[in-house]
Chains A and B, each alone.
Chain A
């Protein structure tokens, strides 16, 4: 085991992927708690498909991937919220609409320009080779911003997640905080999807929150537990992926699935012993 770890840490690109991934996993789990509880679980999925469309476009136009993807995904996040708030489209259908449209557009653009090649495959399912120095700095900044904002607005995020009408009645500008959460989610997804892949990044948002909810009974407990589970599962998944040579994103998600069942079982057992 120790030998395996020292092997992993001797590769610069693996260390970079570990650092970026842990930070993204941390941010995703914090945001995920609020998103899952507000019945916004699928927003991660929708936004990552938009991200795929944007990355394909950037590749076709020979532009820097993040410079295109970040603004496009942020705009999509705002749009999804607006659609839901106006009540013109139900939240889940709006997400399904936008995500399949963006995925189709991405596939069209790539097949017209370069054809579906290895680069596209790595966008779909993630690649740890894609992390450069710039990504490390960007993810450090992002993680810092998400953490600081999350701690500062923790009580407000709890209030609008639990009961938006009460929060608004006592003067909390709930739409502002919803926008903030959407913005941070968009950034987290764009950075995380390159390791995890378009198809799998939403697992990083949903699983830790649901896992924590099996056992924890307070909001603070859920948040702390989700953060710990997320980082732990990411590291576990990376080691697994190195050991048995499987794609990183899929391995991380599978470790999360394992953790979910473990917590679910523990929750069931605890409920039984209490009776």
Chain B
């Protein structure tokens, strides 16, 4: 197995109001495609904040190897402010380089080249001058992925990336994420509601429940374990990776 990137040991995370997650132990290795699933309120968002370093652990520890929390390419959930935001695609993608600029106020030529490269990679280079608010939902997510790639070359953390997308755009986005993982070697951590579809491409699964960590292991083990059954009611299990299946599942998750 390849080198560990992130290691959590007996981690507990929470707020002033109480502990949201406890006794969490798992390891993310370079090249993994980890799917993070669980019901609402099981602490998925809390874990995301913890991984990003926005929430200090209450106990236990998160260790990063060859990676700082700032170097995580984060794709947040869509926020309503962005829907009618007047910004060109290039401006949005370039803002992914902000983290590596530190206190320096302006972007360098290298940053701009990096932004151009990532727009090319995600097929939005032709839209560089277009306004973000005029794009379709799928295009917007690809732009935000390009921005996330400007912040990282190692690890992407995607928070419900297909929410609100139509079935075709959903299938397309999953294909892009899979390609980034398999061809570009980028480690993926994806939070998802859409368990059965997300699992086609994932290699590892972390299932959180309100009692804590319910499952951590490979995707095949997860399929066989009893805990996955209530979440895998979607008919398409077995039609691995077919676009028809992705589309039908995408439709059901809306």
Measured as residues with beta carbon below 8 angstroms from the partner, the interface class of chain B is: 35 or more
- Is B151's CB within 8 Å of the partner chain A? yes
Whether A165 and B79, one on each chain, are in contact in the complex, defined by CB atoms closer than 8 angstroms, is yes
Q: A217-B131, A218-B86, A218-B88 are in contact. Are A169 and B52 (CB under 8 A)?
A: yes
Give complex CA distance A169, B148 in Å: 10
Across-interface contacts of A178 in B (CB, < 8 A): none
- Is A117's CB within 8 Å of the partner chain B? no
| Contact flags A100-115 to B (C-beta < 8 A → 1, else 0) | 0000000000000000
| CB of A40, distance to nearest CB on chain B (Å) | 10
Across-interface contacts of B129 in A (CB, < 8 A): 218
**Interface residues in A, total, Cβ within 8 A:** 31
- Is A153's CB within 8 Å of the partner chain B? yes
- Is A216's CB within 8 Å of the partner chain B? yes
Stretch at the interface among A45-53, A131-139, A219-227, A245-253: A219-227
Whether B70 and A166, one on each chain, are in contact in the complex, defined by CB atoms closer than 8 angstroms, is no
Q: A37-B81, A163-B76, A165-B76 are in contact. Are A155 and B106 (CB under 8 A)?
A: yes
Whether B99 and A153, one on each chain, are in contact in the complex, defined by CB atoms closer than 8 angstroms, is no
Across-interface contacts of A162 in B (CB, < 8 A): 81-82, 85, 87, 92, 95
- Is B166's CB within 8 Å of the partner chain A? no
Across-interface contacts of A171 in B (CB, < 8 A): 70, 99, 102
Give complex CA distance A170, B52 in Å: 8
Whether A37 and B85, one on each chain, are in contact in the complex, defined by CB atoms closer than 8 angstroms, is yes
Residue among B72, B102, B131, B134 with most chain A CB within 10 A: B131
Whether B86 and A213, one on each chain, are in contact in the complex, defined by CB atoms closer than 8 angstroms, is yes
- Is B101's CB within 8 Å of the partner chain A? yes
| CB of B137, distance to nearest CB on chain A (Å) | 16
Q: A155-B105, A158-B91 are in contact. Are A169 and B86 (CB under 8 A)?
A: no
Across-interface contacts of A216 in B (CB, < 8 A): 86
Whether B98 and A218, one on each chain, are in contact in the complex, defined by CB atoms closer than 8 angstroms, is no
Across-interface contacts of A167 in B (CB, < 8 A): 95, 98
Whether B76 and A219, one on each chain, are in contact in the complex, defined by CB atoms closer than 8 angstroms, is no
Which chain A residues in 122-173 approach chain B with CB under 8 Å? 151-156, 158-159, 161-172
Across-interface contacts of B92 in A (CB, < 8 A): 162
Residue among A38, A159, A163 with most chain B CB within 10 A: A163
Give complex CA distance A205, B254 in Å: 39
Q: A213: nearest residue on chain B (CB-CB)?
A: B86
Give complex CA distance A197, B191 in Å: 50
Whether A220 and B91, one on each chain, are in contact in the complex, defined by CB atoms closer than 8 angstroms, is yes
- Is B19's CB within 8 Å of the partner chain A? no
Whether B81 and A38, one on each chain, are in contact in the complex, defined by CB atoms closer than 8 angstroms, is yes
- Is A268's CB within 8 Å of the partner chain B? no
- Is A270's CB within 8 Å of the partner chain B? no
Q: B134: nearest residue on chain A (CB-CB)?
A: A217
- Is B107's CB within 8 Å of the partner chain A? yes
Whether B81 and A39, one on each chain, are in contact in the complex, defined by CB atoms closer than 8 angstroms, is yes
| Contact flags A38-80 to B (C-beta < 8 A → 1, else 0) | 1100000000000000000000000000000000000000000
Whether A221 and B86, one on each chain, are in contact in the complex, defined by CB atoms closer than 8 angstroms, is yes
Across-interface contacts of B134 in A (CB, < 8 A): 217
Whether A172 and B88, one on each chain, are in contact in the complex, defined by CB atoms closer than 8 angstroms, is no
Across-interface contacts of B94 in A (CB, < 8 A): 155
| CB of B153, distance to nearest CB on chain A (Å) | 14
Instruction: Show 21 A/B contacts (Cβ-Cβ < 8 Å), sorted by A.
Output: A39-B81, A154-B105, A158-B91, A159-B98, A162-B87, A162-B95, A163-B76, A163-B79, A163-B82, A165-B74, A166-B95, A166-B148, A169-B70, A170-B151, A171-B99, A171-B102, A216-B86, A217-B88, A217-B131, A219-B85, A219-B86
Beyond the given A156-B98, A217-B133, could you list 14 further A-B residue pairs with CB under 8 A, ordered by the A residue number? Answer: A152-B105, A155-B101, A156-B105, A158-B87, A159-B95, A163-B82, A166-B76, A166-B95, A167-B95, A168-B54, A170-B74, A170-B96, A172-B98, A218-B131
